[in-house]
């Protein structure tokens, strides 16, 4: 990928602010423990910790980069990433998972067992909060934190929503014994509110935005959800109002989110709410901003929303929400991602004969992502607020790290958190950690069959030699070769003695 020029991000930042000031719809509607010892400080080089902004990642020094990774783990990671980069293997695996062969009991048992000991163990933190807690402790010992993400993605009725809520409450409760090694509890609104209801609410919110005389009696205080450039083609006709039963179900969803938030806050752990596709995202933003207004403290956001930078309206919506929150004296936090529904979004737009909501080129998405990040860093540099930079793009990580240094945003400020998927982007993860930044791993957890949608996406992201995992594989192999040479060389250090013991264990 092309290196993103800082001037492009600054230009986009100015554009976002300008559009925000020009926007006419800036109003919002209203209605009535056990603790760990201090994290060990990773080994750093002088160029990694200087403040001249010229050096963020020390990629040549693989010894320091992977200093906290045991050799057996490094071998396993390199092997899994290499296999998932072979496109025919991944394509065959995806075909098998979607085939009728999975209806055969013995065959399914063998396949799921294989997945459990390969991709699952690499990309998933555990099957429950106990196993995931052990993963969190290992991360903490290596200078990282964890973001707990229960793996259920979509619920279809109140019963399944209640079951998911129970698991999310258990996740939130577990943070009280894991403080401060957990940075966030992740919530998918699709797991606590039936998807059909999110679609209904989104239709009504879109219609209300385009028709000022249309009122929603159930709507509570929130922040701006749309910009003038948001996609509205999902709702071509006036939708029916919510029935009494639907209003009741929406209230149940609010209560579920409220319970999860309050349980997480008992451990002083903020909540971040994931994004979905544009057909239901308005309802998710509505509930996110409702919770933000209700719970965000004067000096610290406790509820973070998610902005998907591959959407053309992403920057404007972020800016409008931030400015409206400023007027309320409300700090806000955003998790910034690129997006995960590009194919389906474009396919729907084509079928309706409308313009796609997705940026035309990947560089447009990069520019939007970096511009949004720069905008939020500028906003929070002297005021309360927060940004989670969720990416495995090395260029974006470097850009934001340099900007954070320029603004004097430190690890202890709680204003910037880098986040990378568990089992991915290890080079960037350890590089940012060594450079003195706060870094978390996104930790999906749950039973194998339930977590499969997540695993399939990880496999799709990793295949191909040009994927972001290519650099990880190269540097992991370089470090394994270095340790191998140390094993057979002279002047072996204690860490290399450890390699001997682990290598002998693997051989045995």
Structure confidence at residue 53 (pLDDT): 42
Q: Which residues make Cβ contacts (< 8 Å) with residue 239, sequence separation at least 6?
A: 200, 203, 204, 207
Q: Dig out the tokens for 15 from the structure.
A: 């554009």
Looking up tokens 């594989």, which residue turns up?
Answer: 473
How far apart CA 83 and CA 451 sit, in angstroms, is 20
Phi, psi of 222 (to 5 degrees): -150, -170
Structure confidence at residue 363 (pLDDT): 94
Q: Dig out the tokens for 450 from the structure.
A: 């339930």
Structure confidence at residue 37 (pLDDT): 39
C-beta separation of 272 from 147 below 8 A? yes
How far apart CA 435 and CA 420 sit, in angstroms, is 16
How far apart CA 448 and CA 152 sit, in angstroms, is 11
Q: How far apart are the first and last CA of the chain?
A: 42
Q: In 178-243, which residue ranges form alpha helices assigned H by DSSP?
A: 195-210
pLDDT per position in the chain (508 positions), as tens? 444 444 444 455 455 545 444 443 333 343 333 333 343 343 333 333 334 445 788 888 999 999 999 999 999 999 988 887 777 877 888 788 878 888 888 888 888 888 888 888 999 999 999 999 999 999 999 999 999 999 877 888 999 999 999 999 999 999 999 989 999 999 999 999 999 999 999 999 999 999 989 999 999 999 999 999 999 999 999 999 999 999 999 999 999 999 999 999 999 999 999 999 999 999 999 999 999 999 998 789 999 999 999 999 999 999 999 999 999 999 999 999 998 888 889 999 999 999 999 999 999 999 999 999 999 999 999 899 999 999 989 999 999 999 999 999 989 889 999 999 999 899 999 999 999 999 999 999 998 888 887 777 766 665 554 456 788 999 999 999 999 998 887 544 555 555 555 545 544 4
Q: What is the DSSP string of 361-417?
A: SHHHHHHHHHHHHHHHHHHHSSSS-EEEEE---HHHHHHHHHHHHHHT--GGGSSEE
∠ at Cα 174 (193, 248), nearest 5°?
A: 20
> How many helices and strands, by DSSP H and E, does the chain display?
20, 8
C-beta separation of 486 from 496 below 8 A? yes
Which 8-state DSSP code applies to residue 127?
S
∠ at Cα 117 (116, 119), nearest 5°?
A: 70
Looking up tokens 């995202």, which residue turns up?
Answer: 281
How far apart CA 455 and CA 449 sit, in angstroms, is 10
Task: Give the C-alpha distances (Å, rounded to integers) separating 328 from 299, 321, 377, 386, 404.
Answer: 13, 11, 20, 16, 26
Structure confidence at residue 86 (pLDDT): 79
How far apart CA 113 and CA 104 sit, in angstroms, is 14
Structure confidence at residue 494 (pLDDT): 54
How far apart CA 94 and CA 434 sit, in angstroms, is 36
Largest CA distance in the chain: 81
How far apart CA 16 and CA 198 sit, in angstroms, is 28
C-beta separation of 386 from 414 below 8 A? yes
Among 464, 340, 473, CA closest to 89:
464
Predicted TM-score of the model (pTM): 0.85
**If DSSP codes are grouped into helix, strand and coil, which group holds residue 355?**
coil
Structure confidence at residue 31 (pLDDT): 37
User: For residues 227-261, b (16+ Cβ closer than 10 Å) or e, as one string?
Assistant: bebbbbebbeeebeebeeebeebbebbbebbebbb
**If DSSP codes are grouped into helix, strand and coil, which group holds residue 273?**
strand
Handedness of CA 53, 469, 43, 390 (dihedral sign): positive
∠ at Cα 148 (138, 321), nearest 5°?
A: 135
């Amino acid at each position: 990928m092309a290196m993103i020029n800082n001037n492009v991000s600054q230009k986009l930042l100015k554009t976002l602010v300008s559009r925000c000031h020009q926007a006419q719809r800036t109003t919002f509607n209203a209605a009535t423990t056990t603790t760990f010892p201090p994290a060990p400080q990773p080994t750093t080089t002088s160029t990694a910790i200087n403040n001249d902004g010229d050096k963020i990642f020390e990629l040549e020094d693989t010894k320091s980069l992977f200093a906290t990774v045991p050799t057996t783990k490094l071998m396993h990671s390199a092997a899994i990433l290499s296999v998932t980069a072979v496109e025919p293997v991944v394509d065959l695996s995806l075909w098998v998972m979607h085939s009728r062969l999975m209806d055969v009991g013995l065959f399914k048992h063998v396949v799921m067992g294989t997945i459990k000991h390969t991709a699952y163990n690499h990309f998933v933190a555990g099957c429950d909060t106990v196993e995931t807690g052990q993963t969190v402790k290992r991360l903490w010992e290596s200078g990282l934190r964890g973001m707990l993400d229960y793996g259920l993605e979509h619920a279809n009725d109140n019963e399944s929503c209640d079951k998911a809520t129970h698991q999310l409450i258990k996740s939130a409760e577990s943070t009280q014994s894991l403080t401060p090694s957990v940075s966030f509890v992740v919530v998918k609104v699709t797991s606590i509110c039936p998807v059909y209801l999110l679609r209904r609410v989104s239709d009504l919110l879109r219609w209300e935005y385009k028709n000022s005389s249309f009122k929603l009696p159930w709507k509570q205080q929130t922040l701006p959800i749309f910009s003038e450039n948001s996609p509205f083609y999902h709702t071509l006709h006036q939708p029916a109002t919510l029935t009494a039963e639907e209003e009741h179900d929406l209230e149940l969803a609010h209560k579920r989110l409220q319970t999860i938030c309050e349980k997480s806050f008992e451990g002083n752990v903020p909540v971040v709410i994931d994004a979905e596709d544009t057909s239901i995202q308005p309802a998710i933003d509505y509930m996110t901003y409702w919770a933000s207004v209700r719970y965000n403290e004067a000096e610290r956001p406790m509820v973070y929303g998610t902005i998907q930078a591959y959407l053309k309206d992403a920057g404007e919506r972020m800016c409008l929400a931030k400015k409206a929150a400023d007027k309320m004296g409300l700090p806000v936090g955003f998790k910034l991602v690129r997006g995960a529904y590009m194919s389906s979004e474009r396919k729907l737009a084509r079928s309706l004969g409308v313009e796609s909501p997705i940026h035309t080129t990947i560089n447009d998405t990069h520019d939007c992502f970096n511009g949004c990040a720069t905008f939020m860093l500028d906003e929070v540099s002297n005021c309360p607020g927060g940004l989670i930079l969720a990416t495995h793009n090395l260029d974006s990580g470097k850009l934001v790290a340099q900007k954070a240094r320029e603004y004097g945003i430190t690890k202890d400020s709680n204003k910037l958190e880098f986040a990378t998927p568990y089992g991915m982007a290890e080079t960037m993860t350890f590089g940012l950690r060594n450079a003195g930044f706060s870094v978390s791993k996104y930790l999906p957890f749950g039973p194998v069959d339930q977590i499969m949608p997540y695993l399939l996406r990880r496999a799709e992201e990793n295949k191909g030699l040009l994927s972001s995992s290519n650099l990880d594989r190269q540097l992991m192999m370089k470090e394994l070769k270095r340790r191998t040479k140390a094993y057979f060389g002279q002047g072996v250090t204690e860490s290399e003695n450890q390699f001997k013991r682990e290598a002998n264990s693997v051989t045995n």
